[in-house]
């Protein structure tokens, strides 16, 4: 089991957002998270990602599991080049610095096929509708739409055990959306995906849960 949530509650002032929510995510499972606006979907992801504290309850992450989180606001402010940003955010650059003749870093680097990272980066950028030549440009020189896609590319290149994706289809055209569906269908990573695009969720996920706006609990819808 990758993630186990038990009895998690969260309120902002007098507004209850989550009330005793329990949830589990198995290895390789892809779960869609739906609900009306402002019912706590983003809050739930942030709690799992460790970016927000719950008021009560527990969140247990499998020891050693790597989580990668895509927020709705994906603006990046950086003077790094795209290539340097992606190598840093994916942890490939750290692994290269730690590599020794018989180090764990070398084993991890080889497991992640780090020698082919640039090729994988080009494939992801192309899939997201970006020219791989952007790799040499500074992120600060890109449009907001391009920066959002670079953020998504960084998440997808992280080789995380769990992807936490908050509205990943925002601002994607149809070819890019189809590419993302194919990527998520073929990844071994587990996923929790917040999206209003039910067709996308139907294609990608094998389970859908909803935050009920009355009870503030999770209910299964598929």
pLDDT, tens only, 42-83: 999 999 999 999 999 999 999 999 999 999 887 777 889 999
Distance CA(101)–CA(116), nearest Å, equals 19
Q: What is the pTM of this model?
A: 0.92
Task: Write down the pLDDT at residue 102.
Answer: 63
Task: Write down the pLDDT at residue 16.
Answer: 93
Distance CA(48)–CA(164), nearest Å, equals 8
**C-alpha closest to that of 160 among 134, 186, 191, 131:** 191
Structural contact between residues 169 and 200, judged by C-beta atoms closer than 8 angstroms: yes
Structural contact between residues 130 and 149, judged by C-beta atoms closer than 8 angstroms: yes
Distance CA(185)–CA(210), nearest Å, equals 21
Task: Write down the pLDDT at residue 101.
Answer: 67
DSSP tag of 161: S
Cα–Cα distances (Å) from 5 to 19, 34, 49, 68, 175, in that order, read 12, 17, 12, 17, 35
Task: Write down the pLDDT at residue 110.
Answer: 85
Give the pairing type, strands 207-211 and 218-220: antiparallel
State the alpha helices, DSSP H only, in 35-89.
Answer: 41-49, 82-89
Residues of the chain with pLDDT under 50: none
Cα–Cα distances (Å) from 194 to 31, 62, 155, 162, 206, in that order, read 9, 21, 15, 14, 14
């Amino acid at each position: 089991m990758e993630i186990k949530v038990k009895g998690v509650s969260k309120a902002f002032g007098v507004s209850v957002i989550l009330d005793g929510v329990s949830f589990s995510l198995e290895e390789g499972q892809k779960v869609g998270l739906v609900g009306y606006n402002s019912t706590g979907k983003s809050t739930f992801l942030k709690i799992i990602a460790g970016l927000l504290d719950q008021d009560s309850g527990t969140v247990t992450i499998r020891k050693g599991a790597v989580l990668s989180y895509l927020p709705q606001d994906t603006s990046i402010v950086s003077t790094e080049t795209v290539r340097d940003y992606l190598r840093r955010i994916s942890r490939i650059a750290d692994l290269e610095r730690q590599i020794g003749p018989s180090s764990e870093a070398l084993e991890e680097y080889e497991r992640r096929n780090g020698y082919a990272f640039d090729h994988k980066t080009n494939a992801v950028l192309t899939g997201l509708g970006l020219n791989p030549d952007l790799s040499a440009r500074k992120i600060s020189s890109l449009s907001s739409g391009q920066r959002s896609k670079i953020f998504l590319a960084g998440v997808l290149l992280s080789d995380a055990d769990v992807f936490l994706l908050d509205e990943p289809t925002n601002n994607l055209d149809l070819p890019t959306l189809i590419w993302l569906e194919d990527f998520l269908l073929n990844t071994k990573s587990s996923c929790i995906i917040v999206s209003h695009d039910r067709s996308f969720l139907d294609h990608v996920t094998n389970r859908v849960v909803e935050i009920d706006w009355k009870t503030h609990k999770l209910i299964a819808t598929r």
